[in-house]
Amino acid sequence: MTKELNLDPRTKLIIVLCLSTLGIAIKDLVLLSIVFLLSFMVASLFKANLKRTVRKIKSLLYTLILIALVQSIFTRGESLISIGSITILTADGVEKALQFILRMAIVIFSATIIGTSSSRSIIQGLVQWRLPYDIAFMVALGIRFLPMIRDEIKDSLVAIQLRGIDIKNIPVKERISLYSYLFNPLLIGAILKAERLSIAMEMRGFRAYGNRTSFLVLKFNNWDYIVMFLSIVITFLFFIKGYI
């Protein structure tokens, strides 16, 4: 059984930064696969919700494949599939497509590591890194708003179906207007929520004083230093060895 790693959120941010940098900068497919495995293993060590992430990737699969195909079609190189004189797929194109899919997977899996810390501790981490509290709070709010918007889209789709409408089988014209219907209330709803939230924050004394104190103060332990050191050194090694 894996034991959950209890590290400072700032350490997790460094790990994610290193993994994402490697994922974006490396071009070699084998190295990219190694970084992907590393992201997967680190996320498992932190007990990130990998099942949910895999489900999310599944729902993005068609988009990823489409983008990968477009990339592979428009890349010149040794022809793999062609119709007459027109090259459809090249070896370089397939390589680029695989690179793209691996990169996306690295970014998504490494991002799950941050999700293992609470938003409050992430804000505190950013504040202790001297980021102004207002900005750190806005980042956390932004993170909080995204799943809310997703849930609202889901709710609206459920509400429409509960009125007896089969979304999949309505004429294209109506379907387009249906989606435009969904977008406007969503936007207005988000603005209204933001407005209510800002009023609630003001009522609770947000920014009433210049300096804020916090009950929660984060402290690095030895493991944090070791993990941060290793993450940064490994990333630099990739650069120095010329893999990037």
Partner 1 sequence: MHYIELKEIDFEYEKGNKVFENFSFSVDRYETVALMGPNGSGKTTLGKLMAGILKPNKGQVLIFNKDTNEIPLHEIGSRIGYLFQNPEKQFFANTVYDELGFVLKIKGYDEEYIKNKVGEMLELFQLKGLEKHLPYLLSQGEKQRLAIAAVLINEPEYLILDEPTTGLDKKRKDILFELLNMLKNRGIGMTIISHDNRFVERICNRRIYINRGEIQHDERA
Residue 178 CB, nearest approach to partner 1 (Å): 7
Residue number with CB closer to partner 1 (28 or 174): 174
* Residue closer to partner 1 (CB basis): 95 or 152: 152
Nearer to partner 1, 70 or 188 (CB): 188
Task: Read off the tokens for 118.
Answer: 């609470």
Buried b (16+ CB within 10 A) or exposed e, 12-23: bbbbbebbbbbb
Return the structure tokens found at 206. Answer: 């947000």
Q: How far is the CB of 168 from partner 1 (least distance, A)?
A: 9
Characterize the bridge pairing of strands 79-83 and 86-90.
antiparallel
- The H or E element spanning position 77 is none
Smallest separation, CB 159 to partner 1 (Å): 4
Binding footprint of partner 1 on the chain (CB under 8 A): 155-156, 158-167, 170, 174, 178, 181-182, 184-185, 188-189, 192
Q: Of 41 and 191, which has the nearer Cβ to partner 1?
A: 191
Closest approach, Cβ 198 to partner 1, in A, equals 17
Contact 16, 110 (CB under 8 A): yes
From CA 102, how far away is CA 63, in angstroms rounded? 14
The answer to whether residues 74 and 7 touch, using CB atoms and an 8 Å cutoff, is no
CA distance 238 to 24: 12
Coil, strand, or helix at residue 80? strand
In Å, what is the CA distance from 16 to each residue of 3, 13, 83, 91, 187?
Answer: 20, 5, 43, 31, 31
Alpha carbon 148 to chain centroid, angstroms: 15
Q: How far is the CB of 188 from partner 1 (least distance, A)?
A: 5
Q: What is the nearest approach in angstroms of partner 1 to the Cβ of residue 149?
A: 14
| Of 166 and 241, CB closest to partner 1 | 166
Identify which of 116, 122, 147, 148 has the alpha carbon closest to the alpha carbon of residue 136: 122
> Residue 162 Cβ, how far from partner 1 at the closest point, in Å?
4
Which is closer to partner 1, CB of 37 or CB of 187?
187
Q: Please choose, from the candidates 41, 198, 189, the residue with its C-alpha nearest in 3D space to the C-alpha of residue 113.
A: 41
| Residue 134 vs 151, nearer CB to partner 1 | 151
